[in-house]
Amino acid sequence: MLKVDGIRKSFSGNDVLRGVSFSIKQGEIYGLIGKNGAGKTTLLNIMAGLMDKDAGTLKKDGVIGYLPDLPNFFEYLKTDEYLDFLLMDKDKKRRDELLDMVGLKSGLKVKTMSRGMRQRLGIAAALVNNPDIILFDEPTSALDPLGRKDVKDILLNLKDKGKTIVLSTHILADMDKICDRAGFLHNGIIAKEVDVRESADDKSYIIVGFKEKIADDFLRIFETYEKINENMVKIFIDGMSKDRSQKKIFKILSETEYEVSSISTKEHTLDDIFEEVCVK
């Protein structure tokens, strides 16, 4: 559906992208994660055709729509007029569909709209030509929690309609909830690519504290564990069968003669992977 292969870009001798490669299937939401200045916006601009690349290829099946970071509109227009302008006054029905889709009223003055509403108008604008692939640059970064939820709902709705979405953000909690896969852009390349749902479960664990010293013989009952100290152990959850694995661990703990003093679970999130890949 969308294949990025060896994209390179430099500005005044500074290599921002040094051969970025990844591919996305139809109907997938792909998260592009990276530190500020990692080149996410540059990559999206190249994918949207707004910037030339120095090298590499980009194969796409279908039309691309793009919503830049903090989209700017002609402030003196109203919501319906802005979409009419983008549609070149050709399709009033499509305009109303788009306004419905993003939950905006016709006739609202752009200059009086909140950031969340502007972002929704931006999404409508990016969808004007009914693109198959939509690129979103930090769509939730400037929004309050309610605005972020609205935007996430719209993105999931688009995914249900079979749209392919590439999304860049540094708010990784958003990625956890909506992305299928994520690529970590670091040092100008995709340094790691993960299946978001699997990665979240892969290294999740439970920390159990006991009132007394625990014997290693007892701990061997767990498939993977890591002893923190004599009274505390980190028990890893099997990502492939998360619920079953958790149930099994709790059953063992409830049946054991060791008295449990504390239990806490820790999900392995994209933040952890981000730290592993982009910070350490």
* Positions that interact with other proteins (CB under 8 A): 45, 48, 50-52, 65-68, 70-74, 76-77, 81, 84-90, 122, 125-126, 128-129
Which one, 85 or 258, has the nearer CB to other proteins? 85
Which one, 91 or 193, has the nearer CB to other proteins? 91
Q: Measured between alpha carbons, how far is 116 from 147 in angstroms, rounded to an integer?
A: 5
Which one, 42 or 204, has the nearer CB to other proteins? 42
Provide the minimum distance between the beta carbon of 26 and other proteins in the complex, in angstroms, as a whole number.
Answer: 21
Residue 95 and residue 87 in contact, taking contact as beta carbons nearer than 8 Å: yes
Q: Measured between alpha carbons, how far is 268 from 198 in angstroms, rounded to an integer?
A: 10
Q: Measured between alpha carbons, how far is 31 from 167 in angstroms, rounded to an integer?
A: 5
Which one, 41 or 169, has the nearer CB to other proteins? 41
181: phi then psi, degrees, rounded to nearest 5: -135, 160
Across-strand partners of 22? 4
Which one, 50 or 240, has the nearer CB to other proteins? 50
Provide the minimum distance between the beta carbon of 42 and other proteins in the complex, in angstroms, as a whole number.
Answer: 10
Provide the minimum distance between the beta carbon of 233 and other proteins in the complex, in angstroms, as a whole number.
Answer: 53
Q: Residue 180: exposed, middle, or buried by beta-carbon count in 10 A (0-12, 13-18, 19+)?
A: middle
Residue 15 and residue 152 in contact, taking contact as beta carbons nearer than 8 Å: no
Provide the minimum distance between the beta carbon of 146 and other proteins in the complex, in angstroms, as a whole number.
Answer: 24
- Which distant-in-sequence residues (6+ apart) come within 8 Å of 125 by Cβ? 67, 71, 73, 82, 83, 86
Q: Measured between alpha carbons, how far is 263 from 250 in angstroms, rounded to an integer?
A: 10
Which one, 77 or 232, has the nearer CB to other proteins? 77
Compute CA 220 distance to the chain's CA centroid, rounded to the nearest angstrom.
Answer: 37
